[in-house]
């Protein structure tokens, strides 16, 4: 089957504001990064999917991004796991944008963010579905396979991350949230098809994810790491950087917003917009300078 060039991936990270969105009006698939939080917007001609929504203070920006890209409703929302940097920004979005189905793992968390997230689901009567490894769902021509979680009782919430493989024609993409090596190993042992052209690197490039065995099973030609330039975790860790050394790697802290376009046969990376990074830095510097000047001017004189 011949696919039209309608799928676009945009990986946008806020390097200095932690939430700078570049408005991309192309019809297709958009992957967004929110500093150390993730958000992936997948646009197809048959509907839209949002995977995570960044941290608590990202809600307004997520909603505005959806509006700016013409998204009025979402077929699916995937909340990979209950950590705030993945579900916090979804709260306001759930109160604003109609959602067909929300997929989330069967695990709870004790934070106020998680409580507010559950309240938003209940208040808006959003249908819930528990992820079942090996199951599939389709949105337009894109077919999603649930890869994880494959068991329960994990000691680490990251391993409950809903992991997905999206296939469109002959191209494929893997998103693993913050799934760590334990979950990656289960995906391999379960016999899931993991090979993909693009790997959305797990857990922001932490050494706790993207094991050599998992990387070999996926065998990507392109990797994308979503992280903040000023993160305090040292992401991406040296081990991960070395593992990815032989393929094309796009990092939001280096390239700004990244756009990928696929027609179901090839994937084109467009506009690693480094100029946006410098524009953001300049804008922040001007804002900081203006604030300092304002304080200086308004400060009372002492005799």
Please provide the average confidence, as pLDDT, over all residues in the chain: 81
Dihedral sign of CA atoms 222, 225, 229, 234 in order: negative
How far is residue 5 CA from its own chain's centroid? 22
Q: Tell me which of 15-19, 95-99, 175-179 is least confident.
A: 15-19
Parallel/antiparallel/unpaired status of strands 142-148 and 163-168 = antiparallel
Confidence band, pLDDT 50/70/90 cuts, at residue 266: confident
176-199 mean pLDDT: 96
Q: Name the region of 133 (left: φ>0; alpha: ψ -120 to 50; beta: rest).
A: beta
Across 107-116, 219-228, 243-252, 271-280, least confident range: 271-280
Give residue 217's pLDDT band: very low, low, confident or very high (50, 70, 90): very high
| pLDDT exceeds 50 at position 94 | yes
Cα–Cα distance measured from residue 100 to residue 144, given in angstroms and rounded to the nearest whole number: 16
Instruction: State residue 18's pLDDT score.
Output: 29
Q: Give percent of the chain with pLDDT exceeding 70.
A: 76
Q: How confident is the model at residue 34 (pLDDT cuts 50, 70, 90)?
A: low
Answer whether 198's CB lies under 8 Å from 260's CB. Answer: yes
Q: What is the pLDDT of residues 142-162, one digit of tens each?
A: 999 999 999 999 999 999 999
Return the SS3 of 42: strand
Q: What is the CATH number of domain 7-289?
A: 3.60.15.10
Which residue ranges make up each domain of the chain? Answer: 7-289
Mean pLDDT for 240-254 is: 89
**Rounded Cα–Cα distance for residues 18 and 229 (Å):** 9
Query: Could you report the per-residue pLDDT of 271-303, keeping only the tens digit for each?
Result: 544 454 455 446 546 765 766 665 554 444 443
| Between residues 77 and 260, the one the model is more confident about | 77
Query: The pTM is what?
Result: 0.80
Query: CA nearest 168: which of 45, 291, 284?
Result: 45
Q: What is the DSSP annotation of 213-225?
A: HHHHHH--SEEEE
Confidence of residue 41 (pLDDT cuts 50, 70, 90): confident
Contact 199, 177 (CB under 8 A): no
Neighbours of 25 (CB within 10 A): 8
């Amino acid at each position: 089957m011949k696919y039209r060039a309608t799928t676009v991936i945009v990986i946008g990270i806020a390097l200095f504001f932690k939430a700078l969105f570049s408005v991309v009006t192309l019809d297709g698939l958009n992957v967004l990064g929110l500093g150390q939080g993730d958000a992936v917007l997948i646009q197809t001609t048959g509907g839209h999917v949002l995977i995570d929504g960044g941290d608590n203070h990202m809600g307004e920006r997520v909603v505005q991004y959806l509006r700016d890209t013409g998204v009025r409703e979402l077929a699916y929302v995937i909340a990979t796991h209950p950590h705030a940097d993945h579900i916090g920004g979804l709260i306001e979005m759930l109160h604003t944008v109609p959602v067909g189905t929300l997929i989330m793992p069967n695990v709870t968390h004790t934070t106020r963010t998680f409580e507010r997230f559950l309240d938003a689901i209940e208040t808006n009567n959003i249908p819930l579905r528990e992820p079942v490894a090996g199951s599939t769902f389709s949105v337009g021509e894109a077919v999603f396979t649930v890869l994880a979680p494959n068991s329960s009782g994990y000691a680490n919430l990251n391993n409950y991350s809903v992991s997905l493989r999206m296939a469109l024609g002959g191209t494929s993409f893997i998103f693993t949230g913050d799934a760590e090596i334990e979950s990656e190993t289960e995906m391999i042992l379960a016999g899931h098809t993991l090979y993909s052209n693009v790997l959305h690197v797990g857990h922001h490039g932490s050494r706790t994810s993207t094991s050599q065995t998992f990387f070999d099973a996926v065998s990507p030609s392109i990797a994308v790491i979503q992280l903040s330039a000023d993160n305090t975790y040292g992401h991406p860790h040296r081990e991960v950087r070395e593992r990815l050394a032989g393929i094309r790697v796009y990092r939001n802290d280096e390239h700004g917003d990244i756009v990928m376009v696929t027609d179901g046969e090839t994937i084109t990376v467009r506009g690693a917009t480094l100029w946006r990074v410098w524009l953001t830095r300049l804008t922040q510097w001007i804002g900081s300078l203006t604030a300092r000047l304002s304080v200086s001017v308004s400060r009372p004189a002492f005799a």
